[in-house]
Structure 1
């Protein structure tokens, strides 16, 4: 009786069309107890935490469960995921899950063998690179030309991920224009976004990997502020960026951000004909032993979340592009993407 009264109350407050599916999913939920989502980043100010929090909140409302997002980093996240096959621990990561393996970084197993690939839910078109606002280098051309002319350029990245593949592309671009000078671009290996930011604040890095979500706030600071920085490159395809809200992020519009995209305001050549681009995508990882029943339940619940339409609005307000695929669709997509970038990494490193 208590549950019936609660259902009626929710339906009166929220409307039967929205509330009824949530109650159905709650009743059918095969995951008992609270759910912990570990993420492959230690930063609560980066894009991984932001995207994960948005989807976790929407999923929690849909299945009427308590869901907590923990920024523990990929190593601790993998360990936590390995211990719990019931679905009470899930993981959210991005392309670094397979890029780290391709780069042969310690701790990165082949995610397609070690885990189950769960649904994708968002693309970040704002993955990019920044310089201090008082930097002598104002754009990518100046950075690449400086390296080509013998200047040492220190680039703060997290090894084995989307930051390293962009760094690899920079080195390749220098090599194409100035053969033999590519080693003037030097990797400063750090951790999550806060570590990369700190490397710039401390004057240890000339360029850092960052994101619109995490770093746009610093681009609004005056040039004499130690934390002030500017974007010089966004790795996403311009077609991906054009799907973002016109208002962009913070005080920077989509059109202003498009000037940092390949083919519009920036060129980072991959070869004589093509520029390098990379869309950073977020997806779930599941314990290999998690039951098909739980996988199907989460697929269906997230499909309903996206069918409702509200999470798309929330994602786009934070400059993410909604990008839902079921587990099976995501597995196929990311395997193909892995294979494509494996060839690119091999060609860039020759």
Structure 2
């Protein structure tokens, strides 16, 4: 007869050999909470975070749960936990909120450790209802010049506000004074912005290809149907997206809504464009060895190449930069965008 103790011992030994050892070697917690700066499970932040969390969980042999708590709550949770049981994944809103002076959003470069970048969303966009009289950004800016109030649903202090600010600036460049007719409707995450449109509280909303493309495929008479009017990404970034695009919309279709096909002018000669980048953040007092374990795992994951396929399927551009390079890149980007905000923000 087979000795059960011997079999169980052999199975246990096999599991120890095949289970990733990084977490144990670096004393990573068995459970990590990944907070994100969104309260929606249907937006691009949650989608991207879920891909990264799943890859890290599998590679490290630990459990990482994505928790959509919003930017302020996420930063508070990160600040309270130096043990390494809480990390954060978000995007440029982290420093944009600080640059815009949103209460409760301090300088992330001084108060947290900037971790690796993981992806770019080339799909940050603005949309209108399917039955909107506005067929293009030119129509929207012309309406503002003609004295019509255009209500734009955004999340204050984030990537959507930098796009909104750029709209106001374009209106001012084209017809000084008309920027007062581009009016913010301050909401929360993607679901809130969508609802503002459906409740007729906004004429234009900030959205994303990942979250909103599905609504552009609805019949035109469906109350939830939408149309893209502007994608803010640099055309060079959008060109890296899969040719098949997302859903029923191809990359070529999306390029019609980005510069230069759709122009939202910066100064009368150059168009405004902005890439939305996702990156990790750590508590500044977290053990550097734990940060290194996560960073090393991410480097190995991107070297393997599978995560890039998953990100591309979800219309994200893989964009891994290790911690030091990410800090240098994002610091420079923050400084550059800070200058633009000072020039473009409403008085």
The TM-score range, normalised by the shorter chain, is: over 0.9
**Could you say which residue in structure 2 is the equivalent of 1:88?**
85
Aligned-partner Cα distance in 2 for 1:321–1:26 = 28
Work out which of the residue numbers 284, 287, 290 in structure 2 matches 1:291. Answer: 287
Work out which of the residue numbers 236, 241, 253 in structure 2 matches 1:239. Answer: 236
Work out which of the residue numbers 4, 14, 19 in structure 2 matches 1:5. Answer: 14
Aligned-partner Cα distance in 2 for 1:246–1:180 = 40
Q: How does 1:209-224 map to 2 (within 5 A)?
A: 209-224=206-221
Q: How does 1:1-350 map to 2 (within 5 A)?
A: 1=9, 2-6=11-15, 23-263=20-260, 265-349=261-345
1:273 deviation in Å?
2.1
Deviations 1:290-333 (A, max 9, x none): 11111111111000010110000000000000000111111111
Whether the 8 Å CA contact 1:29–1:63 is kept in 2: the answer is: no
- Normalising by structure 2, we get a TM-score of 0.95
Aligned-partner Cα distance in 2 for 1:50–1:124 = 11
Secondary structure at 2:20's aligned position in 1? helix
Aligned-partner Cα distance in 2 for 1:222–1:45 = 21
Aligned-partner Cα distance in 2 for 1:330–1:223 = 43
Deviations 1:235-271 (A, max 9, x none): 00011001011111111111111111111x2000000
1:52 deviation in Å?
0.2
1:6 deviation in Å?
1.7
Find runs of 4+ consecutive structure 1 residues off by over 4 angstroms. none
Deviates more, 1:24-33 or 1:92-101: 24-33
Secondary structure at 1:270's aligned position in 2? coil
Deviations 1:94-139 (A, max 9, x none): 0000000111011110000111101110000000100000000011
Mark the runs of 5 or more structure 2 residues left unpaired by the alignment.
Answer: 1-8
Whether the 8 Å CA contact 1:120–1:330 is kept in 2: the answer is: yes
Q: CA RMSD in A?
A: 1.2
Aligned-partner Cα distance in 1 for 2:27–2:323 = 17
